[in-house]
Chain A
């Protein structure tokens, strides 16, 4: 490797095309890539160590910041993991509300990823159009929980407040408006000759190698394996709905782009179904040790006051046990391995972060290609630095 005719190129931590900070040192023969050495950890924030110090409901704010493009999925996934440990079953209304939020978050994440593939290949227009739609989703999040990006939405046992009529109206408007923008975006890129020439057969990986590398999510489905956690182990009443899972054939960049685009359409269908059939009922389940009692009770009843105090001071312990729960995040299978020893904080919490696991396949995917192909492959894998380092 120390041959004088190879050059070393540093695709450094700060680079406009790597969306996030991670470093790739490429060994190149002219324009062809021979090998890559990756360095990550430039934004390591020690989530797993912090989680051993925080009570269960405070960890929701940590999960926000892992995959910050689609925070509600992380939040709701964590709350479902704790509910699995406690053995709590949620009502149908809570499940459907969760589905709506998770699919909205999935749409926003896929929109960023696809428009950024466009930006990296020189097509800046799609990015600007699509970001406007993200603003509409931010408005919906703000009405629900007050924050735009790091939402901290939901509570263990359900939600803190119900969907108001304004939220439902805004979601219906979003569902009406997004298809037009999506078709415009597709007209720009999907059958565009230049885009197709740049992305077909670029960064391909076979289904068997992808499974061996632990791929999951759109990257694995683009390689041809139909593994989706929503279908194999349904959670939160996903099995009430009928949706298709798009699969690619070659596992290259174009397949990943198309799989994500089709998943946006499927998510729109899911949200429409869930919202049309939203059942009546309570928007939370009574989990007295973790869900704050209503304020009128806190001011009038002694028991509610004591529970409120204990919850806020974080004095409640969870039952002893260990569970593994996973949800289908926008990037793949996001897993939570939680070991509890009965204390107020987890004994061990391990996040199975999909970005961390599939990013290690990058050298195999770009070997033999040229530099511009490597840039597109990296951006089509949707690497989010917060989830990569964690």
Chain B
């Protein structure tokens, strides 16, 4: 008999009995949030085409709950910045990030978004972490769809473990202050 093509994930810690599962609130909310992330694909260049391949049928990001892309920042959870961000585009990225409602995460896909990539020039922003706080960086030029999915899974881990009161915590507020985001 061949190995099954799925793995069973353990349920979170809690008290299990017939017809009842009791656990803490943040674990349930984390579980629900991490399996239904709505990404905002901010695709600017070549990494955007690899993202289209990731969303396609072959690699299928929809399996992870990210089936519904949201182009409106107000309805999105995860800002996926894919591609080079030039200095002309930087205020736009910040404006889109500010419009996103809490809780929100940012993933920088590709070398250009992470650090400017091969374009060390006067017109390219050397990494989007100069303007928005970034949670996960996916290196590559462009990264393979498997790498993008790996980055997405790391974001899922972060989302599952996130405290529900992160937005009111002192470190988060200081972090946003340092970027000039109110």
Contacts and interface: CB of A to CB of B under 8 A. Distances in A.
Asked if A and B form a direct contact in the complex, defined as CB atoms under 8 angstroms apart, the reply is yes
B56 A68 contact: no
Contacts of A41: 86, 88
A16 B44 CA distance: 11
Interface residues of B, number: 29
B92 interface: yes
Nearest to B71: A16
B50 A149 contact: yes
A50 B84 CA distance: 15
B89 A13 contact: yes
Contacts of B85: 43
Interface hub of A42, A43, A135 (most chain B Cβ within 10 A): A43
Given A13-B89, A49-B121, A149-B49, A43 B56 contact: no
Contact of A68 (B42, B45, B89): B45
A64 B58 CA distance: 24
A65 B85 CA distance: 14
Given A65-B45, A132-B58, A148-B144, A45 B71 contact: no
Nearest to A142: B144
B56 A132 contact: yes
Interface in B1-55: 42, 44-46, 49-50, 52-53
Interface in A363-390: 385-386, 389
B56 A128 contact: yes
B141 A150 contact: yes
A265 interface: no
B142 A45 contact: no
A94 interface: no
A44 B123 contact: yes
A45 B52 contact: no
Interface in B86-127: 86, 88-89, 92, 96, 118-119, 121-124
Interface residues of A, number: 34
B45 A385 contact: yes
B97 to A, nearest CB: 11
Nearest to B92: A13
B108 to A, nearest CB: 16
A41 B53 CA distance: 26
Contacts of B58: 131-132, 135
A241 to B, nearest CB: 29
Given A16-B71, A46-B121, A65-B46, A135 B92 contact: no
A61 B49 contact: no
Contacts of A148: 50, 53, 142, 144
A69 interface: yes
Contacts, number: 85
A208 to B, nearest CB: 34
B103 to A, nearest CB: 21
Given A15-B71, A128-B56, A43 B44 contact: yes
A46 B119 contact: yes
Contacts of B89: 13, 21, 42-43
A63 to B, nearest CB: 12
A4 B17 CA distance: 68
Contacts of A20: 44
A45 B50 contact: no
A225 B56 CA distance: 36
Interface string A37-53: 00001111110011000
B53 A43 contact: no
Interface string A16-36: 100011000000000000000
B55 to A, nearest CB: 9
A50 B119 contact: yes
A14 B53 contact: no
Contacts of B124: 45-46
Contacts of B142: 148-150
A132 B57 contact: yes
B45 A43 contact: yes
Interface of B: 42, 44-46, 49-50, 52-53, 56-58, 71, 83-86, 88-89, 92, 96, 118-119, 121-124, 141-142, 144
Leading 4 A-B pairs by shortest Cβ distance: A68-B46, A131-B56, A46-B121, A16-B71
24 contacts: A12-B92, A13-B92, A20-B44, A21-B89, A42-B88, A42-B89, A43-B84, A45-B84, A45-B123, A46-B124, A50-B121, A65-B45, A68-B46, A68-B49, A128-B56, A128-B57, A131-B56, A131-B58, A132-B56, A135-B53, A138-B53, A148-B53, A149-B142, A385-B44
